[in-house]
Structure 1
Amino acid sequence: MIEDQSPYAAAAAAAPKETVFALLFAISFSHLLNDTIQALLPAIYPVLKDSYRLTFSQLGLITLTFQVTASLLQPLVGYITDKRPLPYSLPVGMGLTLVGLLALSRAHSYPAILLASGLVGSGSAIFHPEASRIAHMAAGKRRGLAQSLFQVGGNAGSSIGPLLAAWLIVPHGQAALSWFSLVAMLGVFLLWQIGLWQARNLHRIQRKSAHTSAAAQVRPSSRRVAFAMVILVLLIFSKYVYLVSLSNYYTFYLMERFHVSVQTSQYYLFLFLFAVAVGTIVGGPVGDRIGRKRVIWFSILGAAPFSLWLPHAGLALTAALTVIVGLILASAFSAILVYAQELMPGKVGMIAGLFFGLAFGIAGIGSAVLGHLADRHGINFVFHFCAFLPLLGLLTAFLPEVESEAGR
């Protein structure tokens, strides 16, 4: 529980640049709870397909409904809360997810499933930008570390969700989704406590230090900021399309190219996902030390030699290369998000909503496009094609400098 009368409340007023680790761990755990629930939706597709005789196109429309609400609403939510902070919007968002989860457990028609999916996506849209703001508020000078801790909670939840679905929902059916309402209710309670802290510490995000004011005098022009944002979007595109090629199609690639079993391919996928989690933790604090732009350089372009090598490697080397690629690419998101927030100060929520929304949207669209390519040209073609995506990291050269040594 996060007490609103905790010692941090007094300490924050005197030293707002202090990192509040209690809040960071709490919001990271909340992210784990939220993304565990989000991950249940695709994990139960086989159950829904068999129960309602759904086609793959209908399953794709469920994904689209979830992704559209989760992606498009996030920047809007962030924009609104930048203008007027809403400390208790987080438990409201988790409450929406709870309603969607219960509706999905009781849905007996395809339109009802679509409606429930939209509710779950709406809860996610409210959660991510405001939770990222909390991480920003509690970060002090360690913004990269804060975003990494926040992100790794989500990564853990995304990994746990399918396991829980396999253990509980597949054996017991769609109605077993209602058991996860306990997870959502825990999230509502925890996020209410976090909201109490946020309400008492809004000055942590409003206050600007002296070096921030000085930096404002040399801040890039509006045109350069807009150009930089386009570059960042392209970098997010390269990162997430390549990652989705591995997370969604790596097992099929291993089975077709190396003739491994389904179970063996899952072990290799776990190695990759574990590397992604480790890379997420590392990228933020490294960016705090050496600067966000340097991390972005390395995180995208640095993966290119290994991604280009991967389609030509044997099984053991393929496994090693995917671990390296996962470590490198996963370090990018926290650095990109904090860089964008420093590029456009005062718009923390909108930037978080935009980039989390992009991550959701690009992953969904990228998965569909790569699946189409795999149907037409084979899974090996997909991995040869995606191998070139990290070369887009060269665009980092066009990003302006927004950090000073004092700001690190």
Structure 2
Amino acid sequence: MSTMASSRSTALQAGATYSILFAISSVHMLNDTMQAAVAALFPILEKSLNLTFSQIGLVAFALNMTSSVMQPMVGYYSDKRPSPWMLPIGMALSLIGMVGLAMAPSFWLVILAVVFIGFGSAIFHPEGSRVVYFAAGGKRGLAQSIYQVGGNAGSSLAPLMTIFIFVPLGQPGAIWGTLLAAAAIIILLWVVPWYRKQLAQHGKPVKRAPKTDAKGVSRERSIIIFALVLLLFIVFARSWYFSGIATFYQFFLENKYGLSMRAAQIPIFLFMAAGVLGTFFGGVLADRFGRKNMILFSIGGAVPFALLLPHLPLAMVYPVIFVLGFILLSGFSVSVVYAQELLPGNVGMASGLITGLAFGMGAIGGLVIGKAADLWGIVEVMNDASLLPLIGLLAFFLPKDRREDVI
């Protein structure tokens, strides 16, 4: 058994397969661009369907909960039965959701459409993370960053879609999202045979054999559970704050500074675009300086900028929100790799917990922030939301990195 595990490890660490990494990253970008189209529509839907902030928060909640809560379950299933064809099936569901979003005449049909988009994303992410795991070689931080950069790049397009697609075309402009889904399916039809071959040669990731007695194994399990719960709390706080910026900060800008709908998208784009850069460099630096150190830097370093942001003159908003996005998202992919190394035999479930369940909890944040904004005003609520990154300082208590050769 140890010989088999060693051969798998050697094969998978021989070198990163960059063509596959960039292919699956591009699909991740297309997938998250479709999700971003929902957020890009918020200013349009607020006016065309007369939505309240609470209803906008509920749309974001429906999208994120379906795309997030399903991920650990899909990941758990695919850890036992990896299914390459789930990748294009997920994209097909998102395609149906984009058609529905373009045509939905009411709030509840918008909810139904985003549920389809969410389900498609939930199916894609765990299997996509497994593809990355196989293609990473020994460069897991870099590989996960390449993958996550695609997703964050797609998310960063939301403000641009608002400006160039949805303001001139309105809600029917979402039909262009079907082209994104079709492109993703075509790319995946090329990735699936490679993925199936990897599964045939190396099988699914194997669990480490316990190296200690029963008491030691129990202690090991306790450490892993503690680390996972703490990591979920940290990602939860980051997701609440990220949801507040991505969904509601544009309304804060319109209210406090008197910006137009178009002008309010610029700081959001800067935040998202900086996050793409932070995601990439965070993964690279984590391979050098450690996962825990990078997670701590990403959340602790963001605290002063988050606290300053609601109180700045408009001219200072642009550089500060760019730096904030870079630092905050530099720990994004690192959190996934840290969780995978805690659960080396459950790559899909570990990925689903971080990119799925934790972001699902973050979706609750969007719902809470929207309701609070209706009650107390968007300016007051965004001031309070700036305190959320402080929760991330719990990263000080994370156990040290657990880099294992056996996967």
Which TM-score tier does this pair reach, normalised by the shorter chain?
Answer: 0.7 to 0.9
- 8 Å contact 2:52–2:374 — kept in the other structure? no
Aligned: 1:228 with 2:227 = yes
TM-score normalised by L of structure 2? 0.85
> Which one-letter code corresponds to 1:351 in the other structure?
A
Map 1:308-327 → 2, pairs under 5 A: 308-327=307-326
Aligned: 1:155 with 2:152 = yes
Displacement after TM superposition at 1:56 (Å): 5.5
Distance (Å, rounded) in 1 between the aligned partners of 2:321 and 2:26: 27
Change (3 A) 1:317 1:215: farther
Map 1:339-358 → 2, pairs under 5 A: 339-358=338-357
Per-residue CA deviation, residues 314-350 of structure 1 (Å, 9 max, x unaligned), is 4444433322221111011211111111011111101
Per-residue CA deviation, residues 169-192 of structure 1 (Å, 9 max, x unaligned), is 554454443343222112112112
Displacement after TM superposition at 1:75 (Å): 0.8
Displacement after TM superposition at 1:160 (Å): 2.6
Displacement after TM superposition at 1:403 (Å): 2.8
- 8 Å contact 1:244–1:367 — kept in the other structure? yes
- Which residue matches 2:400? 401
Distance (Å, rounded) in 1 between the aligned partners of 2:294 and 2:273: 20
TM-score normalised by L of structure 1? 0.85
- Which residue matches 2:369? 370
User: SS in structure 1 opposite 2:400?
Assistant: coil
- Which residue matches 1:7? none
- 8 Å contact 1:35–1:157 — kept in the other structure? yes
Per-residue CA deviation, residues 183-213 of structure 1 (Å, 9 max, x unaligned), is 211211211211111101124574679xx77
- Which residue matches 1:191? 188
* Unaligned residue ranges in structure 1 (runs of 5+): 1-11
Change (3 A) 1:61 1:214: closer
- Which residue matches 1:38? 35
Aligned: 1:16 with 2:12 = yes
User: SS in structure 2 opposite 1:201?
Assistant: helix
Counterpart among 131, 138, 141 of residue 138 in structure 2: 141
Map 1:272-283 → 2, pairs under 5 A: 272-283=271-282
- Which residue matches 1:336? 335
Distance (Å, rounded) in 2 between the aligned partners of 1:56 and 1:381: 14
Change (3 A) 1:320 1:231: same
Change (3 A) 1:383 1:169: closer
Per-residue CA deviation, residues 196-239 of structure 1 (Å, 9 max, x unaligned), is 11101124574679xx7798898862122111111111111221
Aligned: 1:89 with 2:86 = yes
Query: Mean Cα displacement is larger for which, 151-160 or 96-105?
Result: 96-105
Identity of aligned residues (%): 43
- Which residue matches 1:26? 23
Distance (Å, rounded) in 1 between the aligned partners of 2:40 and 2:338: 33
* Unaligned residue ranges in structure 2 (runs of 5+): 1-7
- Which residue matches 1:291? 290
User: SS in structure 2 opposite 1:149?
Assistant: helix
Distance (Å, rounded) in 1 between the aligned partners of 2:297 and 2:222: 26
Distance (Å, rounded) in 2 between the aligned partners of 1:119 and 1:324: 34
Query: Mean Cα displacement is larger for which, 335-344 or 99-108?
Result: 99-108
> Which one-letter code corresponds to 1:340 in the other structure?
A
User: SS in structure 1 opposite 2:12?
Assistant: coil
- Which residue matches 1:122? 119
- 8 Å contact 1:145–1:288 — kept in the other structure? yes
Change (3 A) 1:76 1:336: same
Q: How many residues align?
A: 395
